[in-house]
Chain A
Amino acid sequence: DTAVSQTPKYLVTQMGNDKSIKCEQNLGHDTMYWYKQDSKKFLKIMFSYNNKELIINETVPNRFSPKSPDKAHLNLHINSLELGDSAVYFCASSQMGGPGSYEQYFGPGTRLTVT
């Protein structure tokens, strides 16, 4: 069973469009994250939700809006896509607190290409 899954795996779209990426985890974790990995493989956190509450919100354009319907799901909606949004987006999850916490488990990534 896949622990952290993302859909779609690849997303090709034109500038100005709106798109969503979905993430689901079956690890029973209470915290989920979105990361962006650029073409140089640099990895940066964008958002984090704990029990559906936004707890980390880095300097990200407000065209990006995360939504967490429940603690097992974290979606990322992007409005008015720009060329610079092309990247690989990773979802991750972890448990907040307790002896089994700290490490994050990553999904396979969604490669977004904006043309």
Chain B
Amino acid sequence: AQSVAQPEDQVNVAEGNPLTVKCTYSVSGNPYLFWYVQYPNRGLQFLLKYITGDNLVKGSYGFEAEFNKSQTSFHLKKPSALVSDSALYFCAVRALFTGGGNKLTFGTGTQLKVEL
């Protein structure tokens, strides 16, 4: 079974400050990890992924995430937050599903609020 934990329901940060949204995972075998963002009344938008290679992956809108195998974490980061980054962020994990199927398991989401 695969699972994702996002321990914070909400993260508040001042504009211009660095932000971190936390994610830990559990999966059999190598993890494929993703971050998605959801703006109000919109679908999920893909931000970035870790499949293999460098532990620090860069994605859209200046976001990056660091894969840490020993801590089974994949925290989302941005050096300088913008008010427009305020949204709901989902971490997701995938393992190769026997017989096919890119089954993604999502975390419960973290609401990011960036204030002036």
Q: Give me the interface of A with B, judged by CB distance under 8 Å.
A: 4, 31, 40-45, 48, 50, 55-56, 90, 92, 94, 96, 101-109
Number of A-B contacts (CB under 8 A): 61
Q: Is the interface of A mostly helix, strand, loop or mixed?
A: strand
Task: Collect the chain A residues with CB atoms within 8 Å of residue B32's CB.
Answer: 102
Q: Which residue of A lies closest to B44 (CB)?
A: A106
A103 and B42 alpha carbons, distance in the complex (Å): 18
Q: List 18 A-B contacts (CB under 8 A).
A: A4-B43, A31-B102, A42-B108, A43-B44, A43-B109, A48-B101, A50-B101, A55-B100, A56-B97, A56-B103, A96-B100, A102-B51, A103-B46, A103-B49, A106-B43, A107-B43, A108-B42, A109-B42
B12 at the interface (CB under 8 A from A): no
Task: Collect the chain B residues with CB atoms within 8 Å of residue A48's CB.
Answer: 101-103
A44 and B97 alpha carbons, distance in the complex (Å): 16
B25 at the interface (CB under 8 A from A): no
How large, as a class, is the contact surface on chain B?
Answer: 20 to 34
Task: Collect the chain B residues with CB atoms within 8 Å of residue A102's CB.
Answer: 32, 34, 49, 51, 94, 102
Which residue of the partner chain, among A40, A90, A101, contacts B102 with CB atoms under 8 Å? A101
Q: How far is the CB of A100 from chain B (nearest CB, A)?
A: 11
